[in-house]
Structure 1
Amino acid sequence: MKMYLRGVAVAGVLTLAVAACGSKPTTSDNAGGAKKDFKACMVSDSGGFDDKSFNQTSYKGMQDAVKALNINEAKVESKSDNDYPTNMTAMVSQKCNIIVGVGFKLNDSTYKAAAANSGIKFALVDPGDLATLPKAANVKPLAFNTAQSSYLAGYLAAGMSKSGKVGTFGGVQIPTVTIFMDGFAEGVKHYNEAKGKNVQVLGWDASTQKGLFAGGFEDKAKGQTTAQNLVTQGADILFPVAGPAGLGALQAAKASSGKVNAIWVDTDGCVSAAEYCSVLLSSVFKGMDVAVQDVITATVDNKFDPTAYVGTLQNNGTGLSPYHEFDSKIPADLKSEIEQLKKDIVDGKITIASKAQPKSAS
């Protein structure tokens, strides 16, 4: 995906008195500028824009575009899955030029809105299996092959585990969640084969596609209980793939007095959830902010292309975040091995099996 220069503009925020399900839509109108009549819009999933994960990171991408291009924005936060159709309609009524839906669960609402509004461009963050998506000239899927980066995370977790057990759980069993868990399990498996070890993965069996789920993404207490279940079974590294519910796993790790650590997902947890940085080995990031900013910029420049974007290790659309407070604690040999694994995946020497992986953009 083409990258664009980023500038800075000053935005004033105006809250509209327009009611919608979930929350009121809000708009930001910039003073002056050639693009003043362009409006970029976003609908969150039920995790909300302050999830310290993929909604928050996606919204940052829209904010970056608004500042760089001096355009207007509107957004609406979904409180439950039932809000998606109404919230998408609310954004259409705001006369948006592009509407970004965040999350697999917004697929249906996005494609229905796109079919009824051919003059509006749409983008979908984390749409799931690209092969099953409808064809639409005004919808651009933004997908990420996090099986690749999670493979590195699994190898890291196995290399840092003292108990010989690592644990993962998801929010709900959907492809954009299990792709992380698949890659994580495969990375642990590779570590065992390379080192002659037997580190166990609790919470997910990649071969049977069965595992542990919190039943949703919003309940932090449920996430903590789910994580504590894994800790009780002996897991000393946690890999929650559960949005805000996953913060409960970080809380469980923090309460362990150094016995349990974790790896975050979607964005660098030491930035989005800095209060938990002391227990984070690293994070599996997705460049959702860059992808969102780029598709908005392309739309402003009349260069919108509906071809699916797939973030990979090769194009830096996904990867491992810095080790931060663990940088001096992770052995140099382990770091080097992870860098080599990254290269081997990019070069095609390692093939990841997860069926949840999106196909590369053509």
Structure 2
Amino acid sequence: MRAGLFIALIAAAYFGGQVQDSFAQKRLPASPSESTKVSPRKEGTPRKETARSADPYTVGFVTGTPQCTEFALAQDIATTLAGGQESGPQGQVALRVLPMVGNGGVRNVLDVLTLAGADVAIAPVALVERLRQTRTFGDISDRLTYIAPLHIEEFHLLARPEIGSLTELSGKRVDLGDDGSAGAILGREVLNRLGIKISETNLGPEAALDGLRKGDLSAALIVSGKPVNFLTQVSQLDNIHLLPIPYFKELLQQDYLPSTLRHKDYPNMIAAEASVDTIAIKSALFAYNWPSGSERFRLLEFFVQTLFTRFPEFLTGAHHPKWREVNLAAELPGWRRFRPAERWLQQQSGGEAALRKAFGRFLEGKPSDNPPDREELFRDFLRWRERNPDK
């Protein structure tokens, strides 16, 4: 019995060491609080892991926290593309998309730049521009490419009932989201531009909402595309409301857009005839610039072809309404598009020009007054395209 116990202890020590070694080898390069803050100081050029993937059919898709809209979009892609595919010879799915939790900001970019299994990421364009300008991770112009611009992400500033305006947040405790997130970096930038000096905290969405309810925080910022499903947890009994963020063109026009939150977006917080003005930023689907002809390059090419071909499926049904803002043919000035994505767009009947021309012909038959809802109109257009494929 003693001999068996001695052998068990030796085995436990050995395998415990193996687990620790494995964890040390797979540990991410740095946590957001360690080296992912955007600053003028150059952090050095992180290296991309190039180990052969255990699953050559899986695209790693870095997105935001599970509470955000961007994570919901990644799940939309993963579940939609998983359906309707033929299986391989061993029964494997021809293409899989694996959502990977990021922070919706710097972490997303760093993961794509370093992790072997991270191929694409949703990230705010303004934040990626900051990283490029400050060279936080070296020159990323040749290491990142974009597949397509996506939707806009609105600033949701939740506030306690005693806070009636943005200026009243001066000196108050305000949560801007996890360190390195879009809210923390761009929210801090916006408040500084507007001259609002706050006491900043950096919590996750759940902890921030709890802090608001308890009165530990005066406000909390969430940057994500509306409607954010997580915000349905806010009850009228919480006395938490959405605080307007005024759009000062002379201070914000370079990277920010005016936007509006309405009752249909958040019926639990906004009255039927009311609205809340806010600001927004553009987001895009970025990808690692894998060497042409490499295994990951071919996988990413297959992903783009599949996503673009099946894109109309995301515009109907139960998919998130933010999909209806996406124009695959739109360009991202200052960045190079992934070459297979560019080729696909050029091959589709002349690309954007032909689509705009067809949409114009569709609109000719519509009355000019009282136009229908954008979603309804676009669905009509898709049905018209199906009935008139040669027009």
Q: TM-score, normalised by structure 2?
A: 0.35
Instruction: Please identify the structure whose Cα radius of gyration is greater.
Output: 2
Q: TM-score, normalised by structure 1?
A: 0.37
